[in-house]
Every structure is written in C-alpha cells, then in structure tokens.
Structure 1
C-alpha cells in the first residue's frame, strides 16, 4: 500500500497539480517579464538622471571636458561636444546596466528556485521555469524600448545641436552686421600697435581670475554666455555688454597684447593723424582740439569722455600748459599712443583717436613706415608752421616792435614733410583720393601779434592764397589738391584762457575734422 501511494498516487497528484499550474505559466511569465522591463526602464531613467544632472563618478565613463588648449580657457557649450559625449556615456552605461540587471535576475531565480530553494524542488522548479520564461521575454522586449528612448534622446539632441549652431551662426552674423554698421568690417584699431583687431581678447570679469579669452563670440564655448574655467560667466557679444559691464579689451596680435579702449567695437571709430615737422605745433593743436570739444560739451554740444586713463592724464597736463600759454615738450620719437575720447551720446557716439607723432618720423622714411594707423584714417591734419618756410623770413616785413623769436619755429621744410609722409601713407594702402585733408596753419597768434597773419582768419581760400602768393608754397598746395579728395585750409592758434576757452579758429577747424 505504501508503495502504491509513493509511486502511483503522489505522482498522479503531482501531475494533476502541475497540469493545473501550467495555465498560469503565461501569466506568471508575463508579469515577471513586465517586472524586468520596468526594472530596466527605471534603471535607464536613473542612468539618464545621473549622466545629465548628478554627474557623479559612477555615471562617468569618459573624462569630463576640460579646457585643454592654452588659448581656450572656457568650457564647451553643451551642444558643441558634451551633449554627444553624454549620449555615448548613456549608451555605455545602459548596456552595462542591462547586462547587470538581466544577469542578476537570472542568478536570483537560479539560486532561489533551483540551487538552494527554501521549499521542495518539485514546487520551486516549475515556478522557476515560469520565471525563466518571463525573464527571457523581458530580456527580449526591453532592448527595443530602451533603443527607442536612446533614438529619441539622440534625435532631440541632434535637433538642439543644429538649433544651437544655427543660433550661434545667426548671432555671429548679427554681430558682424553691427560692426559693419559701425564701419568696423576689418576690426577695431589698437591704439598701441595700430593694427586692426578683428575681435579683441577679454579677461575674465572675476577679480580673482586672470584668464584671457581670445575669441568670445558665439560658438563652441558659449552661445549667449561663455563659462570661464573658474566658473564665471561672461557675455559673448558686444551688444550684450552694457555700458557698466563692458569687459577690458586686449589686442590679439602676439607682438602687442596691450589693453585697448573699453569702448572698442561698441561704436564707430574715427582716426585723425596729425602730420607735421618737428616743433610745428601738433601737440598744442591737439590739446586745443580737446579743450574746444570740452567747452562745447559744457555748453550743450556733443558729450566728451576721455576713453582711457592714459588719455585723460595726458590731456590734463596739456590743458594746464595751454592755460599757462606755455610750450609743450617735444613729442617723443617712440611710436605714439593714440589720445582717444568718446564723442556724442547714445547712437551718435564715436570713438575718436588722435595721433600726435614726433616730427622726426616724417623726415626719415624708415620711421614713417611704422605709422600704420594712417591706413584707418579718412581725415588727415597737416600742421604747417609758416616760420619753417624760408620765404617767411625773407619776404615778409614784421611790424614795429619786438622781433619774432626764430627759435619758436620748426626747422623742417613743410614741403619735405608732406612729400615723405604722403608717400609713406600711400604705400601703406590708405585711400588718399577718398580722404580729406585739413591744413592747419599753426602759431597764427604769434603772426597776428606781429601783423603777419592773413587778413581773414576763417576763410580757406584767403589762407590758400596767402600760402601760395606770400609764402611761395603753390607747389605744395597743388600737391595737396592732387592727392586728396578735399583740402581745407585753416588758421589756428593753439592758445586758451579761462574765460573764452580756446581760440575761435580752433572751433571751426575741429568741427570740419569731425564732420561725417
């Protein structure tokens, strides 16, 4: 009887129970497969969150982006490399997570249902087989779903990358258009080396960071903002820099690297070189020009602001010299630094560079070749000292009284200065035939005291006739008319007083030079 129960009845009951269990196998397998798919999708979501947001070491399979190039000290924009790097990391981690999760699930079933069951294997094995089927089903169904999510991620990333690069390109185009409107197509003028700078370099605005960024325009290192290696953000466009948040600009040429005007690129630039022989009066005339603009601004004219500390310091010294009716020291032969100022308000602002160059440079051809700033000028000032002309001392009769001090005059012939300087400027590529020339007859205050000045101070034709007929400079005047589109003659007296400001002759001269 016992043998019948053991070998017949129990197997029969087991087979009946197994037969009753079989219809539930699909449901068990489906539920286990669904659980595995849910687990894999949850793991994928955790991986996405870790890769894109947490960025802790366990979610990093590739080294993070760091500024490697010494010239680039900023982090890349997410859509210019890091985004696809994250996608590669996500793909790698998703593959690892899939293999780990599926493997752990199969090992858990094997251990609990086959290797070390807590109940009889007659009960656990069929259940384990059902779980195996479910795991196989989930392992097959999960990859297409995860693949779809990866494809969706890659598609969105690709669209955003195209959009980001398109926006960066549009912003660059808009920035170039703004520069073109300001007549800065070829760049801004460096007041030290006189080269055109397509786009300045800028220092990080952080007071504790000294990193210099060579090209901050929209691109791989930022669209609207660039993030410095120190973490500080900085604008990528000139039009995003307000008056109070403008960054210090620097020349990008390797032989220079000096600071440029803070207003460089934000407004139209005007370059006015003062040409003349040694002691012709260029420096005092330049100081008188600035003083005239300062008085005009105080009386409702265009606002005047010195563009940098060096220009302001030099101007303060020159202004005091003018008020004392003294004589400025000779300009140093070293390459000049522009005296820069901002003229006007709002959209009418202009960044004006006045260049006062040592007279010796206009005699030696090797020296004039260094005056590269003349290429950017469209208005030139030629300072003509009548006392440097021999005919002045031989044909003109001084009025009774103290004789005119010969030591106050220039020792260089104006015709020689003009010929050499025009030749050098033309060789540099300056379009003289489309430029204007203001001829400033200097020291007319001394000439007036001795009755030697032209009759009508503000008349260009009268001054031209005086130069041709009295001083015998007809050849020089004809050469000026030949080389320049427009030539205007002015009598100027670089003197000032506290009541009337500068001499009236300087006011009209300045207005003509700065006329658009």
Structure 2
C-alpha cells in the first residue's frame, strides 16, 4: 500500500502554489535589479579614445568620474527598484496575502461546518468485513482509479479536490450536485491491511446493533421478526422508505420473508471459511424527508457456537462502537427452569431448546467486550444492553412468571406499587433469573452496563414449524428501547414505544420477592433501588 503514503490530489492554490508564484515574482524583480547593476559595472571600462592618453592624472580623473557615475547610476537603479517594489511589488504581495488569507479562512470555515455537520448528524460507516467504524472511507477517482484518503475540506481544497489526473472531486457534504457519497469507496482499515473491501452508504448515519446469544436461542428469529415488520409496515406507515444495502442483503430478506410466512427460521450457519467474516450483517437504509441524514441500519448475527466458543475469524470491533446490544436467552436452557416447566412444553419446542449454558454465553460476551471496548469513568459500558428472555410462550409457566400474563397478575395484586408494565416486566425477568439460580448473571449485567433492561419476548409467537406465520411479541419494544437510547430522532420518526426514566430494577431481586409480589405484600408504591 505504498501509494497510500501520498494523497493523489493537487494542493489548493492557497496552500502552496500561490506562495510559489509570489516567490517567483519577487525573485524575478530582484534578479532584474541585479542584472542592471552588473550592466552598469561594464560602463567603468575605459573608452577607446583613452587608450592613447598616457597622462596618469587624466586616467585617474577618468576613473574617478566613471566610478562616481556608476555609483550615482547604481543608486538611482536601486532607488528605482525600491520605488518599483513599494508601488508595484509590495501592493501585489499585499493583495496576494489578503486573498490567500481569505482563501485559507474560507477553507477553515468549510472545514468547521463539515466537522459540525458530521458530528451532529453522526455520519459514519461500519465495514461489513472488519467491523471498524469510520467517518471517511477511501474514495476512488472515477477517472483514473486513484484512491483518496483525505477527501474532505483541507489543504487540497474546500469544496472540491483536483485529482492528479485532472478530475474534479467533491470533498464536502455541502456539495449537493454530484455529491461525494456518489463516488465508489473502500474501507480504510481493510485497505491498510492490503485488502480492498467496497463500502456503500457514505454520508449515512449508521446504526449498529449486534444480536448475540447461544445456539438456538432465537437470534435469527428475533432479527427476522423485527426487520420484517419495520420494512413492510412501520417505515411506510411513518413516511419513510427503505432499500437494501446491496443485492446480497436483498436475497437475505427474501429468505427472511419465506421464513416469516412459514413460521420457521433457519439456524445461523457457522462460517467455516477463514477469509470471510464470521459475523453476518443484515443492512438496509431508512430515508425520509425529515430524517437527515439517512440511516444505515446494520443488525449483526453470529452463529451461537462461534460466539460462545470465541472462535470468530476476525476481531469483533463492532462492540467498540455499537449503538446497543441485544442479548437473547432461551429460559428453558436453564436447568432449574427445565426441571420446573419442561413438562409443559410440546415436542417441537423441546427439541429446539438451546444447549448453550447461560454462564458460557455471558463469558463469551464479556471476552468480546473486554477485547474491544473501553469502560467509562464509572467502570461501566455506555452502550445499552437489552436482555431478551425469548420463547416466553414455550411453557405456560414462563408467561405466568415474567411474560405479559405475569405482569398483569402482579399489577393486579399491587395496584399502587407498580405503574409501568415494562418496568415491572424488567423486574420479573431479573427475579426469574435469580429464582433459577442465576443471580450472578443479573449482578454481572448491572455491574458492567450503565443502562440495561430485560424483556419477555416471543420472536415467532408460537411453536416453530406449525405452519403459521410469525406473530411476534414485544420484539419491537426491545428495539424501540435501544433506539430511544441511541437514536431518539429515528425513534421519534417511527413513533416508537417510549419507556419510563425509572432507575432499574425497581426493586432488588432477592429470593422470595416473587411470592411476595404475587401475594400483594410489601411496599405500597413503586420504588427504585
């Protein structure tokens, strides 16, 4: 990547070429004065009629006259040069410096405007291959194929850069005709590694949400349920349009649509090739008249076996900058839950229970987070974590404990104690894990994440493969909460579910709390921990 060391663009006239021209003007003027002085020196030589004069006195007088004349002429030449410089060259320099300062200031203003717009709009891209987030990709000149790493307002130009081939390239968000985002681009991080990975969507605000969990926990079903409803119903209902990142994502959506209609979902395949990403991104755009800039939604899925085994082909850099994480848990993978409610499951659900232990899932997530993220001053991670207890409908006892049915039952027994269904659901989900001998999981999440919320969800809404289409439960609520935290403007445009600002959990989950709530005993009003 030796060509990357030098930007293939010509410097703006205000950042070098103008000073070179000024230097040439000054140098030329000084050279002319110097040549005039040397020409005068030639007049000191004796004329031919003095060659026959032997008188020393006359010769001395002649040399005195010659030098006096030369000194006078040289003085006049210097004075004339100074006068020229003062009245011609100095104004030229002054005008140039004023114009140059204006040009540099103009570029600086465009740079500041660009920087502010990029920050306010949160413009960025995330590479599908290396998962690095960056504001500026490497743009490719459409005329010669040269790669421009610095196509932004700088020393090469404010609104446009001139490629070394002569092509004029847009270099700012302010250029609306033939905008910069129309240029082909590649990932800068991959390019530094010797690969050329095409990226699209320059100028977009990328929303990156990994969905993680053990195998068969329901990650793919969760993603299918969400994107199907968002693309087919929510977006159009709120004046937004959608289109796919590329043809491969369009094909993925076609497969999702078939799964959605059939009420089935294919297990995420483990990537065996080492030259491609282990993490699969489903990417699509959301655009609207008031949604500026457009959103590039990237929802990540990874095979549970690969995730739990920490055997990904590439570093999982998406955790460093993601806008939120969805952790999907199959509650029936917990041994105590299986012992209590396993006899309530039908054969189809029983065969689809995740075999991954929750401890292993959390260890895998912690390993990825430690490797790729930085904690804040409080010692916690800033991205919101949505913990999804999926398949709440696979056993009646689950819905009765922490699902919608359980929420209604506990609220009925504690009419003044709890006022928000989703806040109570969060408490019941945490309490369920504590009662299932997983209190350390609840504590670990609370200790490591600044913001977390638990949800009872059914991505499919019934036993998979029974011939009925998806009937998702609370899937949209999960994503609404994440978007409310990371992208409130998008959440507002989609009129998404809003959530209280209460400190969660409402009460400390401890042994015996569920029975107390069920009996309507304890506190008389909703409280925070």
TM-score by length of structure 2 reads 0.67
Give, in whole Å, the separation in 1 of the partners of 2:173 and 2:468: 41
1:292 alignment partner in structure 2: 229
CA deviations over 1:120-179 (Å, ceiling 9, x no partner): xxxxxxxxxxxxx9x999977763454342322222222222222222233223322223
1:436 alignment partner in structure 2: 384
Alignment map for 1:69-468 (pairs within 5 Å)? 71-91=6-26, 143-144=81-82, 146-148=84-86, 149-183=88-122, 188-197=125-134, 199-204=136-141, 206=142, 208-241=143-176, 246=181, 247-253=183-189, 254-255=192-193, 257-264=196-203, 266-267=204-205, 269-294=206-231, 295-300=233-238, 302-333=240-271, 334-343=277-286, 345=288, 346-347=290-291, 349-365=294-310, 367=312, 370-399=315-344, 403-404=347-348, 406-431=350-375, 432-444=380-392, 447=394, 451=396, 453-455=398-400, 456-457=403-404, 459=407, 460=422, 461-462=424-425, 464=429, 467-468=432-433
**Counterpart contact for 2:218–2:459, Cα < 8 Å:** no
Q: Which runs of 5+ in 2 are unaligned?
A: 40-69, 272-276, 408-421, 486-529
Say whether 1:488 aligns with 2:451: no
Bigger Cα Rg? 1
1:479 alignment partner in structure 2: 444
Name the structure with the higher helix share: 1
The count of residues paired between Structure 1 and Structure 2 equals: 415
Say whether 1:510 aligns with 2:479: yes
- Secondary structure at the counterpart of residue 409 of structure 1: coil
Distance 1:258 1:317, change over 3 A: same
Give, in whole Å, the separation in 1 of the partners of 2:187 and 2:457: 38
Deviation at 1:300, TM superposition (A): 2.6
Give, in whole Å, the separation in 2 of the partners of 1:277 and 1:499: 25
- Secondary structure at the counterpart of residue 116 of structure 2: helix
Distance 1:220 1:300, change over 3 A: closer
**Counterpart contact for 1:75–1:226, Cα < 8 Å:** yes
Deviation at 1:292, TM superposition (A): 1.7
Deviation at 1:286, TM superposition (A): 1.3
Q: Which runs of 5+ in 1 are unaligned?
A: 1-67, 105-132
Deviation at 1:234, TM superposition (A): 1.7
**Counterpart contact for 1:361–1:368, Cα < 8 Å:** no
Give, in whole Å, the separation in 1 of the partners of 2:165 and 2:448: 54
- Secondary structure at the counterpart of residue 6 of structure 2: coil
TM-score by length of structure 1 reads 0.68
